[in-house]
Each structure stands twice: as C-alpha cells, then as structure tokens.
Structure 1
Amino acid sequence: MFQSFKAKTRPEDGAPRLAALRGAMHAAGVDAFLVPRADRFQGEYVAACDERLAWLTGFTGSAGFAAILADRAGVFVDGRYRVQVRAQSDMAVFQPVDWPETALEDWMIDAMPQGGVLGYDPWLHSAAEIARLDKALAPRQISLQPVDNLVDTIWTDRPDPPMAPATAWPVSYAGRTADEKLGQIAEILAKAGDDAALITQPDSLCWLLNLRGGDVSHTPLLHAMGIMRRDGRLDLFVAAEKLAAVALPPAVTPHPPEALAQMLAAQTGQIRIDPLSAPQAAKAILAASPATITEASDPCLLPKARKHPAEIAATTAAHLRDGAAMARFLCWFDQEAPKGQLTEIDCVRALEGFRRDTGALAEISFDTIAGAGANGAIVHYRVTEDSNAPVTPGSLFLIDSGGQYADGTTDITRTLAVGDTAPDEARAAFTQVLQGMIAIHRARFPKGVAGAHLDALARAPLWAAGRDFDHGTGHGVGVYLGVHEGPQRISRVSSIALEPGMILSNEPGYYREGAFGIRIENLIVVTPAPALPGGDARAMLCFETLTWAPIDRRLVVAEMLAPWERDWLNSYHAGVLAKIGPALDTTTREWLSRACAPI
C-alpha cells in the first residue's frame, strides 16, 4: 500500500528532545529557536529528512511551526489541526497556539525578554517571513540570528535526503514543450525588466521542464532550484543522479545543489526573487552580490495555474477513472458498513485497492483521511493502528482522498451515513454544507473576482445557523503534481483573481468536536461563462465540474433545499450516472442508479 498506518511520532518523545534542543540553543547563544514545518523549498509536503517539526513535537500536520524558549514551547497551528495537536504533542511541555489569530511576532514579544536573540535556520524561512519578524521585534531590541539548524545537531538518526530519479511528463498531457515554457517565462522576465529570477519551488520547475520526481511521498516533486534568465537559459541545481533517465533542453545547464550559493554570490543585473518562497539565506547572499534584487512573484506561478486545454482534458479523464473507483468503493461501503465489522483502516485499504484496480494509479495524492464518528471532526485526521476506530452503524463516516495518475491529480471528500439512519442534527448540518457547496458550483462572476469574494457563498447557510468551519473553502490543484497548488484559492484571505484554466477544490464543512465531521468536496475548473439573455457585455466566468461521485442523499434534508438547489443536485447526480455508470460492473451500476435517484 501507498499509505502506512504506523504512528510516525510518540508524544513521550517530546520532552527529552525538547531538553536536548534547549541545550543546543544555550550552546549557540540564542534565547529562542524557530522550528518550521517547511523545508528549504517551502513545501507543504516534505521528505522524511525534513520532518523536523514532527520529530521534535510529535505533531504531524502539514502546516504549523514551533517557537522554543527556555521556559516555554509554542506549537502554532491553524483551525484544521487544533484537535490533532493536542492528541499528538505532549501537553505537559508544549503549548498549542491558535494561529494565525495569534501572530508569531506578538507571541514572541510577550515571551522574550528585551534584547533577546531569536535563532533560525535561514534556509528554512522565507525572506518575507524574516522581514516581517525583524520589523515587529526590532522595537523590543529582539534580534534575529541566522544559525545552523539546531534540530539537525541533535537528530542523530536523521534520514538521508531523497534521491528519486526524475521522469519526463508527456507533452500530450502538458500541451506545451519545455522549450516553449522556457520562452514564455523568459518573455515575462524581459517585460518586467528582470535579467533573471531565482526559482525555489520544485513544482514550478517540474511544470517548466515537464518533469516529475519522487522526492516526497504522494506528490511527484523533483527537489531542485533554478536561476532562470531573460534570454531563456536556465541554471538548474539538482543532484546529478536524479537526471540519469531524462534529457534536458539545450537551454538548461545542470549544477550540483551546493553550487547555488556560489552562483548567487556572482550574480549581476536585476534579479527577481519571490519573497514568499525564496529562503532568507538566498536573499542574503544576493544582497551581498553585485546584483540588484527585485521582489515579485515566482514567474511560473500564474502560467502553471492557468491549465492548458491539454492538461484539462488529461485531468478530466483521470477524474472519470477515479470517479468509477469511488463508485465501487461507495457501493462496497454501503454493503459492508451496516454490518458493524469495518474499521477506518479497512476503508482506507479498500479505497486504495479500487484505485489500484484501475491499472493507472501512480500514487495516492495524500494520506487518506478516514474519520469514523468523532474522528471525522479532526479535519486532517490520519488513522494509525493506535487510533483505528470502528465504523459504527447510525454514525457518520468522513473520507477525504485522492489519486495521482499520470494524467491528473484527484481530491474528493464524501461524508457518508453508516446504514440508513443518522442523527437529525448531523443531517441538518450536512444539508447546510451541501447548500454552500452548491452555491460555489453555481456561481457566475466577472473577471477580476478573487477567491475572497466567493468564500462567503459557501459559508452563508452555515452562518445563518450560527456555524462555520476553520479552513478555506478551496485550494488550487495541479495536474499530476501538487494536490495543494497556489496561488489560487477560495478563501477570505485570497486576493488572486480567478482565471480560466485554474483548478480549485470546493469543500465546505462543519465539525462538531467529539461527535462528527462533515465535508463535501468536488474539484472544479474556472471557465468562461456562456452569455445570458438580458445580460450586459462584460465577460463572465463560472465553474465546470471535474469530480463525479454521488453525494449521500440519506443525509440530505430535502425540505431545506431551495428549488434551484434541488435541481442542481438532481442534475449533478444525472451527470454522475451518465459519465460513470458505463464504466462499472452490473452490481455497482445498479447501486449507482439508486444512489443517484432524483429527490
């Protein structure tokens, strides 16, 4: 299996490791030290050798960081992880901090003495983060001190860096050759007046060069950085062993990763860095070079986000294949779950098996979230052998999963009734979540609208009932790349205008700690909206659906739905039956016909 159910960390390891880190801090002459989740590529998903936050604190979530002082140790997590961190970290020595409600700089001002020294590894923090901290802490005369990574000095059995080989991604899926993309990015730099750009995010380079790798679990990333020139040349910093099976374009010159610092120090002209992703160490090296630094976004971000029609066609095929696997799983679940013999791990194994049966599964796109009953309220719950809970008739079961296929990346969540009954309160909340999801699916909006403008549509039915959820409504998604991909989002903090070709998730939810969790998720793609009679001449956008799988009608309170919501659900289910049904065996097709019946 791609997913392991072994617990990766133990809360009891936290205290001795924290004590060892404090000893290293004392030896380094710093009063505090930052331990981020991110690696030097600012990635959400990191290699085993970069799991420093999990190794120290026990917390395995995909976002967060720790601030360690002699007398306190804060673990900063957002709303997705506040239940999880309390279960995974030793609460006797670690203090959960609600973030971003509590900013790191505010917490540090309260925690550190005036004149204190805050140590950090400059390769693991972005230039923007360090600039913000420095500005906020300077009035208290708290200084930021770059140091060698102190966790690495005490992590005696730290795994080796990954060395997975790179593979070529077909142009038939990409739609454009690497040479064409290099030319496109060169034009962007030339138009901006930049002589070069430092590219530090592996997914940008994978997109740019039509390459995929295997340096982290579940996401086909090749760990590399690059310096892109306005004349179309690219200096690529990557371990040579990873390139043995691929041919690079003539404009690309490979170098060992350790050569990056030396080349940065020798730069001249105007060099672009993205302060949100470039390591502070790289900015500091450039600042001491003859080059002039400009700060702007990674030039690959928006071109990568605007999917080529070939990419949309490829991922559409992947989603139909994945939808058939989901239908087989949901049919199996309805047959087996009411017997009361299933566990969360049984369900994860079964779903991965149905995806493997397609013959096209390269990987899962993330560890499947399979939460029975109260575990469903842990937004990014990962089942282990220790936490494995029974799937109990009469309760809810939340399953959030996805597949990595060579032609696309999928991400789907369904909340299911175990048997034919569910608590009335849960059904009402489920229907409110569904109403928010439908509102996003039906949205029409003019060009220039960002995710922040749409986010409230998904929350309005919950807000009306005094409820909400503590995560964004949607994230960007790649094509056989990151299941979480920026810069586009549907979130109250996203100012990025949505453009045709951008793929997003649509996943409102509701979570009752200790009782149940609800989330319904489809992937959607931004597309030009057809003109409407009586409308004005302005260009409008809408969403097309990529994900096709039934939504559990047993959890829908039909009387709560407006006529247009009922029509959307019935139309969606008709589409599921038409698109997925022909690929199914007779038993599953008959089940799907019942599951997609109109309400």
Structure 2
Amino acid sequence: MRQTFDIKGGPQDGRAHLPLLRKALENMGLDGFYVPHDDEYQNEYLPDANERLAWVSGFTGSFGSAFVFTDKAVIFADGRYTIQAADQTAPELWDREAIPEPGAFGWLAKQDLRGKTVGYDPRLMSPNDVALLQAAAKKSGAMLVAVDENPIDTAWTDRPPQPMAEVAPYHVKYAGVAHDEKRADIGKALEEDGIDAAVLTSPSSLAWAFNIRGGDVMCTPLPLGRAILHKDGTADLFLDEAKVSPKLRKHLGNTVTVRPLSDIDEGLSELSGKTVSLDPDLASAWFFDTVEAAGGTIVRQRDPVALPRACKNEAEIKGTTAAHIRDGVALTRFLHWLDTEGQSGKVTEIEAAIRLENFRDEYDSLKDLSFPSISGAVEHGALPHYRVSEASDRTLELGSLYLIDSGGQYPDGTTDVTRTVPIGEPTADMIRHYTLVLKGHIALAIVRFPEGTTGTHLDVLARHALWQAGLDYQHGTGHGVGVYLGVHEGPHRIAKAWNAVPLMPGMIVSNEPGYYREGQYGIRIENLQYITPPAPIEGGEIDMLGFECLTFAPLARDLIDVKLLTKEERKYVNDYHKLVWKRLNRKLPDDAKAWLKEATKRI
C-alpha cells in the first residue's frame, strides 16, 4: 500500500516543539520568525525532513504559514484547512487567522513591533514574497533579518535525513527527445535573448531537461538538485553524491558536469559578469541574493524549461495515452466493485481508496500514486481537497454521493481522474447538480478555439450551466499534468484568475468542474485531455485548436438527467461511452466487462 491514512501532527507537536524554537530564537537574538509551508525546492509534496511548519505547530495541511514570537504564535490557513488547523494546533499556544484575509503579511503589517527583530529564511521564500514581507515589517516597525541558518533546523534535533534516492536515466523511448538535444534548443533560446545561463531550481525542470527521474518526493519521481544550463547547451548538474551512479554519469555524457550539491554556492559565484535567467516564482530569494553578490546580472523570467516541458511531443502523448488506458481499466474495475459490493452502506472511505489502489497495483508498471487519493463520502465530498485519515474515516452511506479523485504514476504517463457515483438512490438535487456539472465538463471537452487563447478565456465554459442556476465552485477548472512527472504542472491552467500563457498543442490539462453542497455532498467530473494542433472547420476561416480526451472510464448514468442535456451534449456522452467501451472492454474480466456494457449504454 503506497498511501497512509494516519496523518501525523497535532497539538502535541506544538506543545513539545514550540518552546524549542523559541529557545533557538533567543540564542540567535531574534524576537520572531516567519515559517512558510514551503521548502527549498518549492515542492508540492514536502519530504519529511522539510515539514518545518508541521514540526513546530502540528498542522499538516499543504498550504499555510505561521509567525512565531517569544510571547505569541499565529498560524494562517485558507478555507480548505480551517477546521484541520483548529484540530491540529494547541488552542492555548496558537492564534488562528485566515487566508486570504488578513493573511500572514496583512496581519504582520497591523502589529506594533517597534524594536523587535523578525527573522526569515531566504531559501524558503521567493523574492516577491520577501518584498511583501519587507513591506509588512516596515509598517509594523519590525527589523527584518535574513538568517543564514533556519532556527527550526537548529531546534529540530531528531530531524529526518534528507531523501537520497538514486537518480536514474529516463529512457528516450518515453522522453521522445535526447537530453542533449533538449538543452541545446533551450541554450539557443537563451542566446537569442542575450542570456548566458539559466539557473534551474525546479526539480521538474531537472528531470525533464536531463531525462532523469528520482525518488526524493512523495507521489512524484523527482530528483532534488539544482542545475546551471549554459547558452551552448552544456550544464552543471548539482546532486548529492549518494544519488549519482556510474550509469547516470554515462547517460549524461560529457556535456554535463556532475557536481556535489554542496558546490551550488561556488557554481553561482562562477556566474560573475554573466547575464543569468532566474524564475522569481520558482527560485528562492537566496538565489537572487547570491547571484547578485557574485556580480551576475539577473533577468527575471519564466523558467526556460517550463514551456517546452508542457508541450508534449509525439512520444510523450503516445506513452501517456497507453498509461491512461491501463489506468482506465483499473478505475473501471473499481467502479464496477463500487456499484456492487460498494453499495452495502458499510464500506469506508479508506477501504474504498485501498481497493482502487489495489486495482492499480496489479500493473507492474505502476510506480506510485500521483497524489494521495481524495476519497470523500457524504459531507467529506464537499471538501475539494479532503484527505481521509483514520480519525476522519466514515462510511459510504446509502442515499449519498461518493467522490473519488485519484491517479497513478507510470513510466510512460501520469494520470488524474475524478468520478462521482451514487451510493443507493440519489435525490433529485443530486441528479440535477451532477448534470449541471456534466454540462460544463462537456462544454470544455468539445470547444474549438484559436491560437493565443488562454485557460482564463475558456474557464467560463465550464461554469456557464452552473452560473445560470446560481451555483459555482471555488477552485480552478484545469491544471497542467506532466508525463511521469508532477500531477500539477504549469505554466498553463484553466481558472478564473488571469493566466497569460496561451494554450498550445501538446499541453495536457485537466477538465474538472464541480459543485459542493456544504455538509451534504460534493460532485466533480475530471478527465485529462491534451491540446490538438490547429485544424480547419468546415465553412470556417480560421484553423482552430481543440482537445483530445486521454481519460477513459464511465460516467454515472444514474446521475444524468437526460432532459437537461442538449442534443449535442447527449451525443457527446454516447460517443464518449462508445470510446470507453472500445478502449477498455477486451482488457476487463468478464464480470466487469458485462457491467461496463450496461454502464456505457446509450442515453
């Protein structure tokens, strides 16, 4: 079993560890310290050794921050984690505030901290966030200090070791393009922009640019390291020496110099007099400070690997298509189980998540889950980022809805799919809301759009039917997805918030509108799809991009109100189910095959 359900943390951690941090602050001459939920690599999932916020507070949510003072401690969490933060932090030790209002920096700006010294770790913060922190500290009257050593690391005497998984070559049959060719193309683009080198701080960029994979991060095959990519396509790759094998050195060849991770300071100092690309959204303030101190000229721009990585090549699309078929078989077997044994009213969220994981695990090619499964029954389904634990586990009650959002990591692709199914007899409201969500999903699946269109332009399509009913959902509609990389990948996305990156051929993006009735149920329908090249439309004048579906698993026919669908929408459902049957039926055992035949009947 790859996922655990005994989520660590809790008030006891704050009670034990907060005094240790305060002692470290006293020894460093600090009155306070800012603790973000970020590590040096801006990872989505943090290695245990980098869970500093959880260590000091007991709060294990994936988004939050804290200020710790000698006489006060305040934790900040957004709406997804308000209840969790209250449960996991000791009320006598921690005040709780909300994100986005007032937010950590907004709160700091309103405090009277004249004569106080507040520290921060520049390795954990972007330069933009440091600027916001500086502005807030100025308003509060506090003196802000960048620390050379994080006081939590000093106080955390039993801190787990940093992960040291061996870094392995990623076969070109999956990558599609040799790593030296990738870097040569990026180097040429740097030279055309008058840039001498790019500092790559994102583990995903390292994995893609060097055709390597690692095992340092949960659910994502990433190697933790850094790189300097020069305009001639050569590179310095900084990795802990324990991760480097002779096989890896042979794979990288003589255009890549492998250096110890501890040499990164020296590597940055060698950029003196050069023009250097750094991404302010991915690189910490420490990189900017170090390059500037070395005499380098910084150009703030998007990581040059991000866009090439997002636009999948033919081999990557072929591979991820195959991975999605295998994943679809596993999910369909699970949905069959859910529609039979899972209708007892006695199955729990954890039991269901484990059953789906076991179906996926029957494939030897499964390397990991792509994220901890969101297995939400009844009111838990209304929490879009719910993570079941042994403490929260509940049954899939009759007369309710069950939402399962899950995915797998395979050598040829990364999957992410959500299905919502009835347990017992659904109510009229459940059917209506599911159908409205489905209408939005279909609109985003069939749309054609011109080059230059961004995800922000398309977001309204997924919400239109819900909006007309006075409903909405408070999360993005689509995120990028890697190929045996991160399940959440930029730079593109589909959401209300503005995103300036145009949708381009080869990009993979999720299509996941939803609806959440607080305290009762949640609905989300998610497929992954990739963007197809511009093609003509009969009678049209402009070639248009479109989407091709990657995910194949049946929709919940019992939740569809056919009367609410247009003729075109009914055609989409029938055509999609026809494809699901065609792609999956010969790979299923007889009982699941018979069930799928019924599940994909025309509506």
Instruction: Please name the residue that 1:54 is paired with.
Output: 54
Instruction: Report SS of the residue matched to 1:60.
Output: coil
Please state how far the C-alpha of 1:136 moved relative to its aligned partner.
5.0
Aligned in 2, Cα 1:166/1:460: closer, same or farther, shift over 3 Å?
A: same
Q: Which amino acid aligns with 2:225?
A: A
Q: Which amino acid aligns with 1:327?
A: T
Contact 1:427 1:556 in 2 (8 A): yes
Contact 1:81 1:379 in 2 (8 A): no
Matched, 1:67 2:67: yes
Q: Which amino acid aligns with 1:151?
A: I
Q: Which deviates more from structure 2 when the two are superposed, residues 225-234 or residues 123-132?
A: 123-132
Instruction: Report SS of the residue matched to 2:449.
Output: strand
Please state how far the C-alpha of 1:83 moved relative to its aligned partner.
4.3
Matched, 1:286 2:291: yes
Please state how far the C-alpha of 1:71 moved relative to its aligned partner.
5.5
Contact 1:505 1:523 in 2 (8 A): yes
Aligned in 2, Cα 1:424/1:29: closer, same or farther, shift over 3 Å?
A: farther
Contact 1:214 1:221 in 2 (8 A): yes
Please state how far the C-alpha of 1:225 moved relative to its aligned partner.
0.3
Aligned in 2, Cα 1:24/1:223: closer, same or farther, shift over 3 Å?
A: same
Aligned in 2, Cα 1:335/1:133: closer, same or farther, shift over 3 Å?
A: same
2-structure distance, mates of 1:572, 1:349:
28
Q: Which deviates more from structure 2 when the two are superposed, residues 354-363 or residues 217-226?
A: 354-363
Instruction: Report SS of the residue matched to 2:222.
Output: coil
Please state how far the C-alpha of 1:362 moved relative to its aligned partner.
1.0
Contact 2:431 2:561 in 1 (8 A): yes
Aligned residues: 597
Aligned in 2, Cα 1:590/1:162: closer, same or farther, shift over 3 Å?
A: same
Matched, 1:464 2:468: yes
Please state how far the C-alpha of 1:236 moved relative to its aligned partner.
0.9
1-structure distance, mates of 2:35, 2:170:
35
1-structure distance, mates of 2:374, 2:242:
34
Instruction: Please name the residue that 1:345 is paired with.
Output: 350
Matched, 1:554 2:572: no
Contact 2:434 2:523 in 1 (8 A): yes
1-structure distance, mates of 2:189, 2:27:
47
Please state how far the C-alpha of 1:487 moved relative to its aligned partner.
0.9
Instruction: Please name the residue that 1:131 is paired with.
Output: 131
Instruction: Report SS of the residue matched to 1:568.
Output: helix
Tell me the C-alpha RMSD between the 2 structures.
1.9
2-structure distance, mates of 1:27, 1:391:
52
Q: Structure 1, residues 154-213: CA drift from partner, whole Å, max 9, x if none?
A: 222210001101111111111100110110111111011111111100110100011000
Instruction: Please name the residue that 1:515 is paired with.
Output: 520
2-structure distance, mates of 1:351, 1:417:
17
Matched, 1:406 2:407: no
Matched, 1:395 2:396: no
Please state how far the C-alpha of 1:584 moved relative to its aligned partner.
1.0
Instruction: Please name the residue that 2:428 is paired with.
Output: 424
Matched, 1:249 2:250: no
Q: Which amino acid aligns with 1:460?
A: H
Aligned in 2, Cα 1:152/1:332: closer, same or farther, shift over 3 Å?
A: same
1-structure distance, mates of 2:70, 2:450:
53
2-structure distance, mates of 1:354, 1:102:
44
Q: Which deviates more from structure 2 when the two are superposed, residues 342-351 or residues 53-62?
A: 53-62
Contact 2:238 2:260 in 1 (8 A): yes
Instruction: Report SS of the residue matched to 1:445.
Output: coil
Please state how far the C-alpha of 1:344 moved relative to its aligned partner.
1.3
Contact 2:10 2:87 in 1 (8 A): no
- Matches for 1:484-523 after TM superposition, within 5 Å: 484-493=488-497, 494-523=499-528
1-structure distance, mates of 2:107, 2:355:
44
Aligned in 2, Cα 1:583/1:257: closer, same or farther, shift over 3 Å?
A: same
Instruction: Please name the residue that 1:119 is paired with.
Output: 119
- Matches for 1:124-273 after TM superposition, within 5 Å: 124-135=124-135, 137-147=137-147, 148-244=149-245, 245-246=247-248, 247=250, 248-268=252-272, 269-273=274-278
2-structure distance, mates of 1:112, 1:427:
53
2-structure distance, mates of 1:193, 1:390:
60
Q: Structure 1, residues 273-319: CA drift from partner, whole Å, max 9, x if none?
A: 11111111121111111221111111101010111111001000000
1-structure distance, mates of 2:437, 2:364:
34
Please state how far the C-alpha of 1:252 moved relative to its aligned partner.
0.6
1-structure distance, mates of 2:447, 2:90:
44
Q: Which amino acid aligns with 1:172?
A: K
Contact 2:112 2:141 in 1 (8 A): no
Q: Which amino acid aligns with 2:334?
A: F
Contact 1:178 1:249 in 2 (8 A): no
1-structure distance, mates of 2:80, 2:471:
15
Aligned in 2, Cα 1:101/1:185: closer, same or farther, shift over 3 Å?
A: farther
Aligned in 2, Cα 1:531/1:136: closer, same or farther, shift over 3 Å?
A: farther
2-structure distance, mates of 1:423, 1:150:
54
Normalised by the length of structure 1, the TM-score is 0.95
2-structure distance, mates of 1:11, 1:560:
49
Instruction: Please name the residue that 2:584 is paired with.
Output: 580
Instruction: Report SS of the residue matched to 2:340.
Output: helix
Contact 1:270 1:292 in 2 (8 A): yes
Instruction: Please name the residue that 2:531 is paired with.
Output: 526
Matched, 1:381 2:386: yes
2-structure distance, mates of 1:502, 1:393:
40
Instruction: Report SS of the residue matched to 1:448.
Output: coil
Q: Structure 1, residues 333-380: CA drift from partner, whole Å, max 9, x if none?
A: 111122223111211111111111122211111111111111212222
Q: Structure 1, residues 253-288: CA drift from partner, whole Å, max 9, x if none?
A: 111111111221232211111111111112111111
2-structure distance, mates of 1:279, 1:331:
47
2-structure distance, mates of 1:435, 1:101:
33
Instruction: Please name the residue that 2:324 is paired with.
Output: 319
Please state how far the C-alpha of 1:84 moved relative to its aligned partner.
3.8
Q: Which deviates more from structure 2 when the two are superposed, residues 99-108 or residues 222-231?
A: 99-108
Q: Which runs of 5+ in 2 are unaligned?
A: none
Matched, 1:7 2:11: no
2-structure distance, mates of 1:508, 1:15:
40
Q: Which deviates more from structure 2 when the two are superposed, residues 27-36 or residues 237-246?
A: 27-36
Contact 2:510 2:528 in 1 (8 A): yes
Q: Which amino acid aligns with 1:212?
A: R
2-structure distance, mates of 1:52, 1:535:
56
Instruction: Report SS of the residue matched to 2:322.
Output: helix
Instruction: Report SS of the residue matched to 1:389.
Output: coil
Q: Which amino acid aligns with 2:279?
A: D
Instruction: Report SS of the residue matched to 1:250.
Output: helix
2-structure distance, mates of 1:428, 1:181:
48
2-structure distance, mates of 1:526, 1:67:
43
Q: Which runs of 5+ in 1 are unaligned?
A: none
Q: Structure 1, residues 19-64: CA drift from partner, whole Å, max 9, x if none?
A: 4333433443334322222211111111110111222333323333
Instruction: Report SS of the residue matched to 1:511.
Output: strand
Instruction: Report SS of the residue matched to 2:67.
Output: strand
Contact 2:240 2:262 in 1 (8 A): no
2-structure distance, mates of 1:68, 1:503:
41
- Matches for 1:351-362 after TM superposition, within 5 Å: 351-362=356-367
2-structure distance, mates of 1:534, 1:70:
71
2-structure distance, mates of 1:414, 1:457:
20
Instruction: Report SS of the residue matched to 1:480.
Output: coil
Instruction: Report SS of the residue matched to 1:81.
Output: helix
Instruction: Please name the residue that 2:34 is paired with.
Output: 34
Please state how far the C-alpha of 1:440 moved relative to its aligned partner.
1.1
